[in-house]
């Protein structure tokens, strides 16, 4: 069957597969060589040239899953983000990106880009018109993150890509939260699609990697810088990531289903004051999410009601563990006010919409009734006992 018509699970399983010509084994062989012959061969192979057999095979899988011509595999999500941005930005250029973007991306732009004479505007709003208002004569790149971290804001991909095309700008998206299973930005005209493969692509909390998918011409431009910066991924990890990605469709579907059911449950719970999930009808981005996503993703956020204690809630959980990262098969949570946004002042946090009792939840693949039971018992344990009630006891 034609590859372009295959479904996502078929692509996850088969795209980029390397034939074991010697022994006819079922899985892609691992070629860990860092040294390849240069004589009598067409391709000069070397891991930092991003062209070992396993690197190229996995890049094909990522490209196919993102409906793109070509791909590159990196040593981390931030290697993919930094190399992609710097490939299209130089001294005197300007970048537009969302205020609510991944912390590492913000640090890269705020701490490093000034040294290279690259200017940036962080936009607070999520509409294409907010991006448009930030465009300057020297703007080169519009950078998106949708759904965003941690409040799951949505941005209309087609509106931004149309805007960028009319102004001759390059569009990039950090597609980590959606994963290629739930969202293919190339279908909506976005040029360059970036992933922290540490998250849903790896999915088992044991791989750090990054990936980019785009047209062959855009990938070549990123590659020209990538080979000089040197952020390639070891073939051992490439091989493990290829294996992980075979189950990505199944995992992400289960995680998205769990997130939808959990968000519906939590919305009716008296211990919760607010739930942020694009799959809920009253989420401000729900209509956009329905138009550009196949599923609403495995990430949700919620605020505990004022009568619940966040620390007690977290400590009482049995299955769900506090964790810095996300997207693994096990459910985890973080308090952004104590982690990603911990260095902001209380006023800055409030401006960013990050309540102290906000919990960012990464759904795993556990059975939903177990997750609901765990959260229910932890919410009960987190109820603050008023001074009066304590006395009566």
Ligand X SMILES: *Cc1c(COP(=O)(O)O)cnc(C)c1O
Choose between 76 and 234: whose C-beta lies nearer to ligand X.
76
**Min CB(114)–ligand X separation in Å:** 21
* Interaction between residue 180 and ligand X (CB under 6 A): no
List the beta bridge partners of residue 361: 300, 333
> Does 48 participate in catalysis according to the annotation?
yes
* Interaction between residue 102 and ligand X (CB under 6 A): yes
Alpha carbon of residue 240 to chain centroid: 19
Choose between 177 and 302: whose C-beta lies nearer to ligand X.
177
Choose between 78 and 154: whose C-beta lies nearer to ligand X.
78
Tokens 């009598």 correspond to what residue?
40
Segment 138-177, which members bind ligand X (CB under 6 A)?
149, 174, 176-177
From the candidates 45, 61, 102, 191, which is the catalytic residue?
102
* Interaction between residue 71 and ligand X (CB under 6 A): no
Choose between 207 and 379: whose C-beta lies nearer to ligand X.
207
**Min CB(198)–ligand X separation in Å:** 4
Closest-approach residue to ligand X (CB)? 77
Stretches 86-94, 151-159, 192-200, 314-322: which one binds ligand X (CB under 6 A)?
A: 192-200
Choose between 51 and 148: whose C-beta lies nearer to ligand X.
148
Segment 204-223, which members bind ligand X (CB under 6 A)?
208, 210
**Min CB(212)–ligand X separation in Å:** 12
* Interaction between residue 196 and ligand X (CB under 6 A): yes
Q: Which residues contact 204 (CB under 8 A, 6 or more apart)?
A: 244, 328, 329
Q: Which of 28, 198, 263, 340 binds ligand X (CB under 6 A)?
A: 198
Q: Is 251 exposed, middle or buried (0-12, 13-18, 19+ CB in 10 A)?
A: buried
Given a contact cutoff of 8 angstroms between Cβ atoms, the answer to whether 100 and 153 are in contact is yes
Given a contact cutoff of 8 angstroms between Cβ atoms, the answer to whether 354 and 99 are in contact is no
What letters, b where the CB count within 10 A reaches 16 and e where it falls short, cover 138-149? ebbbbbbbbbbb
From the candidates 11, 199, 308, 349, which is the catalytic residue?
199
> Does 174 participate in catalysis according to the annotation?
yes
Choose between 126 and 149: whose C-beta lies nearer to ligand X.
149
Whole-angstrom distance, CA of residue 54 vs CA of residue 263 = 39
**Min CB(177)–ligand X separation in Å:** 6
Q: Which of 47, 53, 77, 285 binds ligand X (CB under 6 A)?
A: 77
**Min CB(195)–ligand X separation in Å:** 8
Tokens 């946004």 correspond to what residue?
341
Q: Is 385 strand, coil or helix?
A: coil
- The answer for 83, left when phi > 0, alpha when psi is -120 to 50, beta otherwise, is alpha
* Interaction between residue 78 and ligand X (CB under 6 A): yes
Residue 43 token pair: 């391709």
Whole-angstrom distance, CA of residue 174 vs CA of residue 241 = 19
> Does 199 participate in catalysis according to the annotation?
yes
Whole-angstrom distance, CA of residue 195 vs CA of residue 358 = 25
**Min CB(179)–ligand X separation in Å:** 11
Q: Of 271, 346, 261, 354, which is closest to residue 307 (Cα–Cα)?
A: 271
**Min CB(64)–ligand X separation in Å:** 21
By CB under 6 A, the count of residues binding ligand X is 14
From the candidates 93, 174, 191, 235, which is the catalytic residue?
174
* Interaction between residue 298 and ligand X (CB under 6 A): no
* Interaction between residue 104 and ligand X (CB under 6 A): yes
* Interaction between residue 99 and ligand X (CB under 6 A): no
Phi, psi for 72 (deg, rounded to 5): -140, 140
* DSSP E strand stretches across 152-298: 170-174, 192-196, 210-214, 272-276
* Interaction between residue 76 and ligand X (CB under 6 A): yes
Q: Is 41 exposed, middle or buried (0-12, 13-18, 19+ CB in 10 A)?
A: exposed
Choose between 106 and 215: whose C-beta lies nearer to ligand X.
106
List the beta bridge partners of residue 95: 120, 141
Catalytic residues: 48, 102, 174, 199
Contact positions vs ligand X (CB under 6 A)? 76-78, 102, 104, 149, 174, 176-177, 196, 198-199, 208, 210
């Amino acid at each position: 069957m034609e590859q372009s018509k295959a479904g996502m699970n078929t692509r996850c399983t088969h795209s980029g597969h390397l034939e074991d010509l010697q022994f006819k084994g079922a899985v892609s062989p691992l070629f860990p060589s860092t040294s390849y012959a240069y004589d009598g061969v067409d391709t000069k192979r070397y891991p930092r040239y991003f062209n070992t057999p396993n690197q190229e095979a996995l890049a094909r899988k990522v490209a196919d899953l993102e409906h793109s011509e070509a791909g590159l595999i990196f040593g981390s999500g931030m290697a993919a983000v930094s190399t992609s941005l710097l490939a299209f930005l130089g001294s005197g250029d300007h970048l537009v990106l969302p205020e609510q973007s991944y912390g590492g991306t913000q640090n890269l732009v705020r701490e490093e880009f000034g040294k290279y004479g690259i200017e940036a505007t962080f936009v607070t709003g999520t509409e294409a018109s907010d991006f448009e208002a930030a465009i300057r004569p020297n703007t080169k790149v519009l950078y998106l993150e949708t759904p965003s971290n941690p409040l799951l804001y949505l941005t209309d991909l087609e509106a931004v890509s149309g805007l960028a095309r009319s102004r001759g700008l390059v569009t990039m998206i950090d597609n980590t939260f959606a994963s290629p299973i739930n969202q293919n930005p190339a279908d909506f005209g976005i040029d360059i699609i970036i992933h922290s493969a540490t998250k849903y692509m790896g999915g088992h909390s044991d791989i750090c990697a990054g990936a980019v998918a785009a047209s062959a011409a855009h990938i070549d431009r990123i590659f020209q810088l990538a080979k000089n910066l040197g952020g390639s991924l070891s073939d051992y990890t490439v091989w493990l990531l290829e294996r992980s990605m075979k189950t990505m469709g199944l995992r992400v579907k289960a995680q998205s289903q769990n997130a939808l059911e959990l968000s519906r449950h939590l919305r009716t719970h008296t211990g919760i004051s607010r739930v942020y999930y694009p799959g809920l009808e009253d989420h401000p981005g729900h209509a956009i999410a329905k138009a550009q996503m196949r599923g609403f993703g495995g990430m949700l956020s919620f605020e505990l009601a004022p009568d619940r204690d966040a620390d007690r809630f977290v400590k009482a959980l049995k299955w769900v563990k506090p964790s810095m990262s996300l997207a693994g098969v096990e459910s985890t949570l973080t308090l952004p006010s104590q982690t990603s946004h911990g260095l902001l002042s209380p006023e800055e946090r409030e401006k960013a919409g990050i309540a102290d009792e906000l919990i960012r939840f990464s759904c795993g693949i556990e059975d939903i009734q177990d997750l609901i039971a765990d959260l229910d018992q932890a919410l009960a344990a987190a109820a603050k006992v008023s001074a009066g009630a304590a006395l009566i006891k």
